[in-house]
Amino acid sequence: MAAVAGPEIERLIQLLARMPGLGPRSARRAALHLIKKREQLLGPLAEAMRVAAERIVVCSACGNVDTSDPCTLCADPRRDGSILVVVEDVSDLWALERAQAIKARYHVLGGTLSPLDGVGPGDLNLDRLVARVAEGEIREVILALNATVDGQTTAHYVTDLLSPHGVTVTRLAHGVPVGGELDYLDEGTLVAALRQRTAI
């Protein structure tokens, strides 16, 4: 595609186009918006990004990203240290926190087992998970993993890995989404929802 601006602006567009959900067209639109809002948006955003790039660290306890290690969640004494929620990615942790679903501690695996993509146990944050469980404070490990083949493969692997430690391992229910209509659901979801029915 022909350049419409100088190399500095083209570079901004190219970097924005690497963002998830932004193609080349929307990257151009975003770049133009930033340029037009130079004082209110472009400057503050550049400063926020510079600070973030300098200070962001991965929490050595849970694998979350924050500007302190241990992270804000690990350091929060009001959280229930007996429950550990295992997620694939930081985005899942953020989703659960947005929902204010549980005041527990987390563990970020950094992926799921995927033999087809060459992701094995050594590529995930599993040693640290076992070490945390072995410390003895955790009573329940909730596997909040995706309801995909890889997510469920990982759930089985982690369950086996933790079985010698006498901790209760649970996983999220599969079934009808809140506000969902039955005739829109796929067969797999319907079967899972029936199997995991609960008393009212």
Residue pair 140/105 in contact by the 8 Å Cβ criterion:
no
Of 85 and 155, nearer to Zn ion (C-beta) is 85
| Smallest gap from residue 119 Cβ to Zn ion (A) | 22
DSSP, collapsed to helix, strand or coil, labels residue 105 as: strand
How far is residue 64's CA from residue 71's CA, in Å, rounded to a whole number?
Answer: 7
Residue 36: exposure state from Cβ atoms within 10 A (0-12, 13-18, ≥19): exposed
What count of other Cβ atoms lies within 10 Å of the Cβ of residue 26? Answer: 13
| Smallest gap from residue 133 Cβ to Zn ion (A) | 15
Of 64 and 154, nearer to Zn ion (C-beta) is 64
Tell me which residues touch Zn ion (CB under 5 A).
59, 61-62, 64, 70-71, 74
Of 59 and 87, nearer to Zn ion (C-beta) is 59
Name 158's Cβ contacts closer than 8 Å, sequence gap at least 6. 86, 126, 129, 141, 143, 169
In this structure, is the dihedral angle defined by the CA atoms of residues 72, 76, 81 and 83, taken in order, positive or negative? Answer: negative
DSSP code for 20: T
Of 59 and 143, nearer to Zn ion (C-beta) is 59
What count of other Cβ atoms lies within 10 Å of the Cβ of residue 16? Answer: 17
| Smallest gap from residue 118 Cβ to Zn ion (A) | 27
Apex 116 CA angle, 188 and 191, nearest 5: 5
| Smallest gap from residue 103 Cβ to Zn ion (A) | 14
Please provide residue 84's backbone torsions phi and psi, each rounded to the nearest 5 degrees: -120, 125
Of 59 and 141, nearer to Zn ion (C-beta) is 59
Of 27 and 124, nearer to Zn ion (C-beta) is 124
| Smallest gap from residue 25 Cβ to Zn ion (A) | 38
